[in-house]
Amino acid sequence: MTHNELKEYNEFYTRNSGYVSAELQEKIRTTKVLIAGCGVGSPIAEALVRLGFVNFLLADLDVVEKSNLNRQAYIYADIGTSKVDALEKRLKAINPDASVIKYPHGITKENVKEVVQQSDFIFDTIDFLVLSTIVALHDEAHAQKKPLISGTTAGWGSAALYFPPSDAPYCDFRKLFSLPLTGEVDTESYVGHYSHLIESLEGELDPVVVKVMAKALTIMEDGKPCPASQVSVGSASLAALATTITIKVLNEEQVTSSPHLLIVNLLKTVTDKGVAL
C-alpha cells in the first residue's frame, strides 16, 4: 500500500479513533477474513468493512431470495443474484478498495484446505443442515490453527462460540457436539447433536424464541431445509457480537471461548431495570 493509499484508508476510518488504536487499525486492515455462509454472514461482513477490514473471502453457493431481505445485507435488486456476487457489490459500495475472493460453490471438502490457508480469521454461518461441511471447516481451521467464530441468530438476539487456535489433538467442535472425533459425519443426525444447544438457551432467552428455534429443528429432523424464522434485530445482534469478539482477539484481550456459549438477549436488556439517572 502506497503512502497516499494508506492516508486515504486512515481518513476513511478516522471516526474509529478513541475506540480503535492505530496499532489495532493496522491489524484490522491486514487481516484476511473468511465469511463461510453469506446469509446471516452478510451483516457480519458489512460490520467488518465499516470498521476497516478490507480483505475478504466469501463462500456461499446460494442466490439471494426475497425471503432473505428481512435480515440479510441485500436489496431487492439483488434477488436471483449469487450471494457472493451481491455481497461483493455491497462491500465495494461501502469501500471500493475492499479486496474480495469469491467461492460461489461454497465450502467443500475439496476446497476447504485452500480457503482456510488464505484466511486469518474465520466466520462460520453455514446453514445448519449442512453438518458435514461445517465439520470440514472446523477440522481444517483446527488443523491450521486459525481462530473461528461460529454464530447464529436467536430471535431478538444472537449466540456465538469462539474457537481459538489450539494444540488439542481433536477439533473442539466435534467434542462439543458429541461427534466422532475423526472421520466422516455424513450419517450423523444434525438434530440429534444440536438439540442440546437449544436446551442450553432455555432460561437465557425468551420462551417464544426457544420454542421457534426448537420447531425449526423438528422440521429439520426429516431432512428438510427449514425456513427458520429470523428477524433483522437478530442478524444485527450477531454482526455486533461476532465483530466485537474479533476485535478483542486481534487486540490480544481475553475472550470467553468454547465450550462457553456467548449469548445476546436484547429482549432481556430492554426489560431489565437499567441504570437509574
d(C-alpha 95, C-alpha 142), whole Å: 31
Asked if residues 147 and 162 have their Cβ atoms less than 8 Å apart, the reply is: yes
Half-sphere exposure of 188 (CA within 13 A, CB side): 22
d(C-alpha 164, C-alpha 138), whole Å: 11
How far is C-alpha 160 from the geometric centre of its chain's CA atoms? 8
Note the pLDDT of residue 227. Answer: 65
Helices (H), 52-149: 83-94, 112-117, 131-143
Q: Could you tell me the three cell numbers for 139? A: 477440522
Q: Which of 136, 145, 151, 134 is nearest to 48 (CA)?
A: 151
Domains defined for the chain, CATH in brackets: 22-182+228-266 (3.40.50.720)
Phi, psi angle pair for 57, to nearest 5°: -120, 125
Note the pLDDT of residue 209. Answer: 82
d(C-alpha 118, C-alpha 187), whole Å: 30
Would you call 121 exposed, middle or buried from its count of C-beta atoms within 10 A (0-12, 13-18, 19+)? buried
pLDDT single digits (tens) 249-266: 999 999 999 999 999 999
If DSSP codes are grouped into helix, strand and coil, which group holds residue 261?
Answer: coil
How far is C-alpha 12 from the geometric centre of its chain's CA atoms? 24
d(C-alpha 214, C-alpha 32), whole Å: 35
> Omega before 227 cis (within 30°)?
no
d(C-alpha 133, C-alpha 141), whole Å: 12
Note the pLDDT of residue 224. Answer: 57
Helices (H), the chain: 3-12, 22-30, 41-51, 83-94, 112-117, 131-143, 172-176, 190-201, 207-220, 232-250, 266-269
How far is C-alpha 207 from the geometric centre of its chain's CA atoms? 24
Q: Could you tell me the three cell numbers for 102? A: 469469491
Note the pLDDT of residue 191. Answer: 65
Note the pLDDT of residue 256. Answer: 97
Residues of the chain with confidence (pLDDT) below 50: none
Rounded to two decimals, the pTM is 0.94
Print the SS3 string covering 21-63.
Answer: CHHHHHHHHHCEEEEECCCCHHHHHHHHHHHCCCEEEEECCCE
Asked if residues 252 and 150 have their Cβ atoms less than 8 Å apart, the reply is: no
Note the pLDDT of residue 190. Answer: 63
Q: Could you tell me the three cell numbers for 171? A: 477439533
pLDDT single digits (tens) 208-242: 888 887 777 666 555 555 567 899 999 999 999 99
